[in-house]
Chains A and B, each alone.
Chain A
Amino acid sequence: MNLEELQRTMAAAVMQPLTPEEQMQPRDTTGRWHGRPMDEVVGQFIAPNSRLTAFERLEIYNRQYWFRLQTAFTEDFPALRAVVGPDRFESLMNAYLEAHPSRSFTLRNLGSKLSDWLSRNPQFAGRKSALALDVVRVEWACIEAFDNAEFPPLRVEEIAALGPNPQLALQPYIQLLALDYPADDLVLDRHRRQRRESSEAGARPEAAEEEDCTPLRLRKRPTWLAIHRADDSLYYKRLSQPEYRTLAALRAGQPLADALANAFATSRQGGTAQIRQVQQWFATWAQLGWLVHPQTQI
């Protein structure tokens, strides 16, 4: 076996899901080795020592792989865990991580496909799948808002200088969400209890003291939200539907006049009220530094 094939083989064994008892599978469950006993498979490339079989030695890596990913995922989605409950969360997490192992050098991106995956696999969230999906979108948006780029904001006079119907861009850290539930309330509640840490060692930390997992009770209510940051802290700003639609259209690259026309298409507000509304938005956006030059690229 050359180096590349050895690494491909070992990775497949290390990333194979654990048993419910968190041990290495006694037999291949992936089909890669046609269901053969894993001690035979592992024995082909790992040597035993006087205390551990080849199987037991590789099992250390197998367990560490899953513990590390599970720890990172759990830290990133505490509100999802609160919504679906610990048992269902574990099943959901393992199924997702099996479908979407990390494809990035950083665990920061581990949950990047969770929203899409859960929308295609709602059974993993049970009866609360719609709320769970909203919560996932908010929690992932928090990760993006936390460390996405920030560019020098446009001043009001700079916006005016762009002409009567300018294209404007939004700060990359701003995350716009249209939700069925006010899921930000639930996420905010959960994230207050959570602390981020980084580790090189990767051993599983002692299980945190089990918290009360009962989430806030939420009624369905259309909610438009911007998750952003100011002074390096995350903020959740509720938006009106027209404001959300305007910002979403600007992010999609529409010129300002088109974005506003689209936003007010179904509005019953009079023209004067709309103008006053837009002036207020721009004052707020300028104050928060949300608008940047359309040429700005990461």
Chain B
Amino acid sequence: MSANRFNAYQNHGVGIGLRIPHYEHIFAHKPAVDWFEIISENYMIDGGRPLRMLDRIMERYKVVQHGVSMYFGSAQAPDREHLRRLKSLLQRTKTPWLSDHLCWGSIDGTYSHDLLPLPYTWEAVEKTAARIREVQDFVEIPVAVENVSSYAEFVDSEMTEWEFLNEVVERADCGILLDVNNIYVSSVNHDFQPIDYVNAIPAERVAQIHIAGHTRYEKYILDTHDHPVIDPVWQLYARTIERCGPTPTLLEWDDRIPSFDEVWAEARKAEKFLVPAPSLADENSLAGAAR
């Protein structure tokens, strides 16, 4: 289950996000990290130190690209300059799969630089799936879409978030980057049971999993990637692995970044869940309860 066509039949194990404050430690100590995820946009440039550092990382480690500006859910056509630079970077990194978010973020050429939520409507399903197919055809590698944390819901929504996700990935025939922390954050913000979400996703399409920490405020949770993973998120992760089998897993830590060792130790907590075990999930749940 873990190695599937949506992650190019790779089983990368546990990785962490490549972040500048850790470069020095990585080059000096060469830690045995399975793989690094890079934010594509940080390297979609023409030259200089970022690309040189990336090349050094790639001499020793596997790298997978994760984007933040594709905006699969934007109603308008994709930015051609973005696609051109993205493809150039893909050729450099030879990433086995490419991920970005199930969201929108730009309109009329202006960028929010945020992962804005979509209304869960049939129109959004059709347009988002079409855009994912277009990008997938252009980049010529598997694409996985990530569920985002959200803080608002739309009056026009016609289905649940997981029903929306399932409809989109089915029509686009793409993979899922399942962020179990985002499921937890949104479940609190929107009053649903996160386990219902995990049980509903089509397990056979999960290419990768994200885990992360967040910040809880009085009335909502913000996806800040600046804390360790909390136990309820680990429980969702365990259930996801139970359904999907061992799947490439990545810890995101983006703000108030602690030492490399601390981040890596947090990520390695995932390893105990990744040991293959007899599947507890039946065929119906593997196929996705929402369909």
Q: Which chain A residues have a beta carbon within 8 Å of chain B's beta carbons?
A: 1-4, 6-8, 10-11, 14-15, 44-47, 49-52, 54, 56-58, 60-61, 64-65, 68-69, 72, 101-108, 146-150, 172-173, 195-203, 205-206, 229, 232-233, 298
Contacts and interface: CB of A to CB of B under 8 A. Distances in A.
Contacts of B82: 105
B127 A3 contact: yes
Residue of B52, B104, B107, B190 contacting most chain A CB atoms (<10 Å): B107
A2 B123 contact: yes
A65 B116 CA distance: 10
Contacts of B151: 57, 60-61
Contacts, number: 169
Given A57-B152, A105-B69, A198 B255 contact: no
B114 A14 contact: yes
Contacts of A101: 110-111
B110 A103 contact: yes
B152 A105 contact: no
Interface stretch (B3-11, B36-44, B261-269): B36-44
Interface stretch (B159-167, B169-177, B215-223, B231-239): B215-223
Contacts of B108: 8, 11
A44 B255 contact: no
Given A3-B119, A3-B127, A106-B44, A52 B20 contact: no
A10 B127 CA distance: 18
A104 B124 contact: no
B219 A197 contact: no
Contacts of B152: 46-47, 54, 57-58, 60-61
A24 to B, nearest CB: 12
Contact of A50 (B44, B191, B224): B191
A103 B224 CA distance: 25
Contacts of B119: 3, 6, 45
B48 interface: yes
Interface stretch (B27-35, B57-65, B73-81, B200-208): B73-81
